[in-house]
Amino acid sequence: MNRDEWYDLARDLDWTLSYVDEKQAFPDEWTGAGAIPSSAWKDWDEPFRASYREYVRVQREKDAGAYAVKEAFKRARGFDRLDPGHQAAAMLHMGAVAMVEQMAVHMEARFARFAPSPRWRNIAVYGMLDEIRHAQLNLSFSHDLLKQAPQFDWAVKAFHTNEWGILAVRHFLDDTLLGSSCVDSAVVTNLTLEHGFTNMQFVAFAAAAMDAGDVGFSNILSSIQTDEARHAQQGFPTAGILARFDRKRAQDLLDASFWRSLRLFHLLTGPAMDYYTPVHLRKQSFKEFMTEWIVHHHLRVLDDMGLAKPWYWDQFMLSLEHGHHALHLGMWFWRPTLWFNPCAGVSRVEREWLVEKYPGWEDSWGVLWDEIIRNVNAGNMGKAYPETLPALCNLCQLPLGTALDRHHLRPYTTTYGPRLYHFCSEPCQWIFGLDPERYAGHMNVVDRFLAGQIQPMNLEGALEWMGITHDVMGNDAFQYRWAKDYAR
Ligand code: FE
Ligand code: FE
């Protein structure tokens, strides 16, 4: 029989339970079906018609290609010759993303067992195998480079530490990849994060890595993206059905996850695109890429489902101009707390590019860099390092003052139970308010510091607590050579 003759029958294979009832085998906490009646799931459909035999054949070819390129790149010792900015981007990616792929294995496995439709459970098995492949590819690539750069140890290590940026990544992704129902995870992860945002990390980064000469990294990213494009499709039918039966829940989930994804990409992708990528290799700014690939697309998705634009749209547009510049400045200034060497990316040529792409850049961020440059050139290095911790948001875990521009630094506060919570922005405060019990018990790095969990209570104690060792501790990628531009 050819595939089309048996496919629909095979993927709808299901049976009537006799030893337990339906609710015991598929508890609502796991499926997340809520107000959606079970009859609605017969409409769940996705466009990728894959059989196991085809899946294995195609994946085998992809893996053979990716591992061959990886081997050649390793033998040529290509990584040593790359621009330090690109090296930083690769180290940041591997530390922050390799274990996220492993977390995605668990999410897809949860769909394969608990999703409320046999079709969905069937396709999720491929998604789970995809994510195993991604985690292994990232780890294998990182392992190849260990002798050249100990920072790649963080591909495994990062998620077992208290490094502040990793805690921010985990706060969001533990929540959606590990701790949510099938319906919530599919809307937040498959639709918003994978279909929307990771395009940017995988497509734009793959192109930039290829231009920078990092053939191995580029190849791995592209190979992963072909899988993501397929299994991310689980998000659309799920969100569509949810929107039909519980419009408010669909809107809230999409609005919350869009903002949370943005904050994550402010941290990981924005600095890599607009500061670490060598300026002559940049094709689009973070903002341009976001606008073309994500903003229009997301609005179309909402419109198709009869949902509204997020209520915080004006703040989002302002945040797109500023959030990643703020976080880049913070990451660079607190560079000993990173596991790689960030580049400042503010030489005169780079600064011209920044101002051209972001007309408000000088007013909010240039003034702060000028202060750093003055101290570096005067040999006042003590003042070019942090002495304190920044106040952090109790939702996204990122510093207050990094969501908007320099003229919108007001923290938002909520009293819940016995304590006061601080937020970097109104959307973060709103997300906390959607389900305060879910977030109230979590302590951010500053909360833990004040509770005495970090000893001794200074930078050294904080670095030890974050797992930062001297062989990886971040310093300026170009040994401050860019600051000389301004001394003349
Ligand atoms: Fe993946
Ligand atoms: Fe994925």
Residue pair 164/95 in contact by the 8 Å Cβ criterion = no
Give ion ligand 1 contacts, CB < 5 A: 101, 131, 134
11 Cβ contact partners less than 8 Å away, ≥ 6 residues apart: 118, 119, 122, 123
Q: Is 397 left (phi over 0), alpha (psi -120 to 50) or beta?
A: left
Q: Using the mean position of ligand 1's atoms as its centre, give its distance from the Cα of residue 24 in Å.
A: 30
Q: Using the mean position of ligand 2's atoms as its centre, give its distance from the Cα of residue 329 in Å.
A: 30
Helices assigned H by DSSP within 115-200: 118-144, 154-157, 164-173, 182-185, 198-199
- Please tell me the number of the ligand nearest to residue 135's CA: 1
CA atoms of 83 and 280, how far apart (whole Å): 12
Domains of the chain and CATH, by start: 22-323 (1.10.620.20)
Q: How much is the pLDDT for 459? A: 86
Q: Using the mean position of ligand 1's atoms as its centre, give its distance from the Cα of residue 198 in Å.
A: 9
Q: Which two tokens stand for residue 220?
A: 């791995």
Q: Using the mean position of ligand 1's atoms as its centre, give its distance from the Cα of residue 128 in Å.
A: 9
- Please tell me the number of the ligand nearest to residue 100's CA: 1
Q: Using the mean position of ligand 1's atoms as its centre, give its distance from the Cα of residue 347 in Å.
A: 35
For tokens 């001394």, the residue is 487
**Count of alpha carbons within 13 Å of 183, Cβ hemisphere only?**
26
468 Cβ contact partners less than 8 Å away, ≥ 6 residues apart: 161, 163, 336, 337, 338, 339
- Please tell me the number of the ligand nearest to residue 132's CA: 1
- Please tell me the number of the ligand nearest to residue 193's CA: 2
Predicted model pTM: 0.96
Q: Using the mean position of ligand 2's atoms as its centre, give its distance from the Cα of residue 434 in Å.
A: 26
For tokens 């010759």, the residue is 81
Q: Using the mean position of ligand 1's atoms as its centre, give its distance from the Cα of residue 111 in Å.
A: 15
- Please tell me the number of the ligand nearest to residue 131's CA: 1
> Quick one: angle between helices 118-144 and 215-231, nearest 10?
170
pLDDT of the chain, 488 residues: tens digit per residue: 888 899 888 888 898 999 999 999 999 999 999 999 999 999 999 888 888 999 999 999 999 999 998 888 888 888 888 999 999 999 999 999 999 999 999 999 999 999 999 999 999 999 999 999 999 999 999 999 998 999 999 999 999 999 999 999 999 999 999 999 999 999 999 999 998 888 777 888 888 888 888 888 899 899 999 899 889 999 999 999 999 999 999 999 999 999 999 999 999 999 999 999 999 999 899 999 999 888 988 999 999 999 999 999 999 999 999 999 999 999 999 999 999 999 999 999 999 999 999 999 999 999 999 999 999 999 999 999 998 889 999 999 999 999 999 999 889 999 999 999 999 999 999 999 999 999 999 999 999 999 999 999 988 899 999 999 999 999 999 999 999 999 97
CA atoms of 113 and 120, how far apart (whole Å): 10
Q: Using the mean position of ligand 2's atoms as its centre, give its distance from the Cα of residue 122 in Å.
A: 16
Q: Which two tokens stand for residue 300?
A: 């179309």
Q: How much is the pLDDT for 387? A: 85
Q: Using the mean position of ligand 1's atoms as its centre, give its distance from the Cα of residue 157 in Å.
A: 18
Q: Using the mean position of ligand 2's atoms as its centre, give its distance from the Cα of residue 209 in Å.
A: 20
- Please tell me the number of the ligand nearest to residue 97's CA: 1
- Please tell me the number of the ligand nearest to residue 220's CA: 1
Q: Using the mean position of ligand 2's atoms as its centre, give its distance from the Cα of residue 401 in Å.
A: 31
Q: Using the mean position of ligand 2's atoms as its centre, give its distance from the Cα of residue 194 in Å.
A: 6
Please report, for residues 108, 287, 320, 344, 476, the alpha-carbon distance to residue 341 in angstroms, rounded to integers and kept in the order given: 34, 24, 25, 10, 6
Please report, for residues 17, 82, 278, 350, 461, the alpha-carbon distance to residue 88 in angstroms, rounded to integers and kept in the order given: 53, 10, 11, 17, 25
Q: Using the mean position of ligand 1's atoms as its centre, give its distance from the Cα of residue 238 in Å.
A: 19
Q: Using the mean position of ligand 2's atoms as its centre, give its distance from the Cα of residue 294 in Å.
A: 17
Q: Using the mean position of ligand 2's atoms as its centre, give its distance from the Cα of residue 104 in Å.
A: 6
- Please tell me the number of the ligand nearest to residue 186's CA: 2
Q: Using the mean position of ligand 2's atoms as its centre, give its distance from the Cα of residue 480 in Å.
A: 38
Q: Using the mean position of ligand 1's atoms as its centre, give its distance from the Cα of residue 140 in Å.
A: 15
**Count of alpha carbons within 13 Å of 372, Cβ hemisphere only?**
21
- Position 415, amino acid: T
Q: Using the mean position of ligand 1's atoms as its centre, give its distance from the Cα of residue 104 in Å.
A: 7
Q: Using the mean position of ligand 2's atoms as its centre, give its distance from the Cα of residue 373 in Å.
A: 41
Q: Using the mean position of ligand 2's atoms as its centre, give its distance from the Cα of residue 232 in Å.
A: 6
Q: Using the mean position of ligand 1's atoms as its centre, give its distance from the Cα of residue 254 in Å.
A: 20
Q: For the chain, give the number of residues.
A: 488
- Please tell me the number of the ligand nearest to residue 102's CA: 1
